[in-house]
Structure 1
Amino acid sequence: MLTVKMLKPYYIKADAKYIRVILAYQYFSILLNEKVYQFIPVEAKEIRINRKTYSVENIDAKFAFQKGKEIVYVTMAELISLPDFLNQLHAIIEPYYEQKKVEQEENESKITTAVIEDMEKENIRRMIDQALDNRDKDAFYKLVKLL
């Protein structure tokens, strides 16, 4: 029976496309047949998550684990089939999802504010036109100051 005993990133590297969870010695261990195996960075060294789909991209990656002189290899496909691995991975990368959501909300807010400002200026221009049509100098001068 394979279970993930510990999964901690050495560091996390995020860019526009991916969240990369970089692994190192003593930060990742599994329990296999009641024996604890420690991760060794011989084969794969990272977990790569797509920021748009939130799915693990490097499914074919093979991770090496060692206990004494014995080395076992576990594929990413095997690891993502384990609920405890997915739970720990989700807890690690969740702040990066939230950061993206906050950035998206901020961008939407900026766009909304810009649209409202443009609409207000267009409305003032229409009111200036109306003041000119009515030959209302006071209203015209007040509205021009608003632009």
Structure 2
Amino acid sequence: MERIAAERDRPAVADEHRTLSYAGLAAEARRIAALLEDEGVRPGTVVGVGGARCAGVIAAFLAIELVGALYVPADETWPAARVRDVLDQAGASLLITMDAQGVAPALLEGAAEAGCRVVGASRADGLAPWAGSRA
């Protein structure tokens, strides 16, 4: 957080569609953290993160750490069986997806087979930033 205060307007992470400053990354992570907490994620919960590699994935990783949970990545190019195995072996209860254009079918199928709920990160867009436990 010290780095955010000192370099809040400098680019922190970028992908082909957007660049997030340190302040923007922190704000997005806090909104996703609020969504995760609303979805029942608590310290120690394992959350899968799926979708294309993008700036939002970094925000999701940070959000998961903010709420004290653990993350396991699930690549959108993996077959459903691999997604299922990774989520199942990690004990994930939720898969947060990054793709605004649509979630890869293999991610959805693998998550369903592993018994994971699927939540789109875009649902965090209108939420107030997480400010600590709201439970």
TM-score (norm 2): 0.23
Larger radius of gyration: 1
Would you tell me which structure has more strand in proportion to its own residues? 1
